[in-house]
Amino acid sequence: MVSRQGGVFLARTVLIVAGGVASAEEAREAAKDADFIIAADGGFSLASRAGLRVDLLVGDMDSLDSPPQNIPILKFPREKDATDLELALDYARGTDPERIVVVGAFGARLDHTLANANLLEKYDLPVVLFHQGFRVYLVVDELEIPAALGDLVSLIPLSAEVRGIFTWGLRYPLHDGVLFRASTRGVSNEVVGLPCGVRVREGKLLLIHKPQGGGQ
């Protein structure tokens, strides 16, 4: 559902289509529950291939030969202090959504991939990124994922330290645990029970979920 307040659209689920590596099929899957779709500059090409209706185009337009004429555009100068994805995320946050979904955030350039992953620490609402079968969730308090037995889960700290971590449904559980950004301790866990999830008391982390195709 989309409403409008003070000239800003309010949506429950905002999809951002960015210009990284993603297939049209993955973009369509990410868009299933979207109320409002933002293309971040070159992400418009992916959205077009996927047949998605874009509600807003955001960025400096350096990746498009000719920006579309029938879509609202929030244009920025090429010399700016943020990536097009950050600009799109900031706009999406302003719509007061229940969650933000992103496709195409990773893969085109290593510097953009690392910057876009670290960027998520800035936000305090549910964000999930689709990337080549993986789901990357921003965990700011508590999260349960739609997992199956045998799926792989990694916990990657965004904050220097993440404290008060409780997990359930994982082979290697944490109970009031601590993970450090300068450590790989949270990599490659396995779903062994359902439901599966994590709760944190201090800090933010990414939960990276890789479905393995098994049943529940």
Read off the pLDDT of residues 124-166 as tens digits, 9 standing for 90 and up: 999 999 999 999 999 999 999 999 999 999 999 999 999 999 9
Residue 89 maps to a domain: yes
Question: Same domain for 93 and 17?
Answer: yes
> Could you tell me if residue 109 is inside a domain?
yes
Output the pTM of the full model.
0.92
Residues 159 and 52 in one domain: no
Judge if 96 and 153 occupy the same domain. no
Number of neighbours of residue 193 by Cβ within 10 angstroms: 12
Question: Is residue 214's pLDDT more than 50?
Answer: no
Q: Are residues 102 and 55 in the same domain?
A: yes
Instruction: Answer whether residue 186 is part of any domain.
Output: yes
In terms of domains, do 92 and 162 share one? no
- Among 132, 165, 180, give the residue marking a domain's end: 132
Phi/psi of residue 98, nearest 5 degrees: -75, -35
User: Last residue of some domain: 99, 132, 165?
Assistant: 132
Mean pLDDT to the nearest integer, 95-105: 97
Half-sphere exposure of 118 (CA within 13 A, CB side): 10
User: Are 128 and 100 within one domain?
Assistant: yes
Span 49-72, average pLDDT: 91
- Cα distance between residue 111 and residue 91, in whole Å: 22
69 and 114 housed in the same domain: yes
Confirm whether 127 is domain-assigned. yes
Distance CA(16)–CA(26), nearest Å, equals: 13
Does residue 1 have a pLDDT over 80? no
**In this structure, are residues 159 and 180 in contact, taking their beta carbons and an 8 Å threshold?**
no
CATH of residue 186: 2.60.120.320
pLDDT at 100 over 60: yes
Pair 167, 110 in one domain: no
What range defines the domain where residue 10 resides?
2-132
Binning pLDDT at 50, 70 and 90, where does residue 62 land? confident
User: Are residues 26 and 109 located together in one domain of the fold?
Assistant: yes
Residue at 13 is within a domain: yes
- Shared domain for 76 and 109, answered yes or no, is yes
Q: 46 lies in a domain? A: yes
Residue 137 lies in a domain: no
Total number of domains in the chain: 2
Same domain, 127 and 150: no
Reported as a pLDDT band with limits 50, 70 and 90, residue 66 is: confident
**Of 208, 211, 17, whose CA–CA distance to 117 is shortest?**
208
Question: CA–CA separation, 95 vs 103, rounded Å?
Answer: 18
112 has a pLDDT exceeding 80: yes
The mean pLDDT value for 170-194 works out to: 98
3-state SS record for the chain: CEEEECCEEEECEEEEECCCCCCHHHHHHHCCCCCEEEEECCHHHHHHHHCCCCCEEEECCCCCCCCCCCCCEEECCCCCCCCHHHHHHHHHHHCCCCEEEEECCCCCCHHHHHHHHHHHHHCCCCEEEEECCEEEEEECCEEEECCCCCCEEEEEECCCEEEEEEEECECCCCCCEEEECCCCCCCCEEECCCCEEEECCECCEEEEEECCCCCC
